[in-house]
Amino acid sequence: QVQLVESGGGLVQAGGSLSLSCAASGSIFSINTMGWYRQAPGKQRELVASITSSGRTNYADSAKGRFTISRDNAKNAVYLYMNSLKPEDTAVYYCNADVTGWIVSRTYNYWGQGTQVTVSS
């Protein structure tokens, strides 16, 4: 099995910065696309940023110019660096990854448990 664990969430004042980390562990053969999603109360979960195994990135319009996604393939990890945070960035942030297993060669989509990010004004 595969597990994704996020860390780095917390409370920050508007205009501040915060960094999130996600590490995948388990029977991993390879990881394809990894990404960060967020879900605010009463809203649907939305993509914040994603990154392919080759390094191609994709950002939500609201994140462009403020957030940066990166990954470390050797560590099976993905990171999200958030700058100039706004109150509307407040949400639970989830790590997501497409993982191909080592024992069974099939690709599955996995989610982390989520980490709370709260931006105060």
Please report, in tens digits, the pLDDT of each residue of the chain (121 residues total): 899 999 999 999 999 999 999 999 999 999 999 999 999 999 999 999 999 999 999 999 999 999 999 999 999 999 999 999 999 999 999 999 999 998 878 999 999 999 999 999 9
In this structure, how many other beta carbons lie within 10 angstroms of the beta carbon of residue 3?
11
Rounded to 5, what percent of the chain is helix, strand, coil? Answer: 5, 60, 35
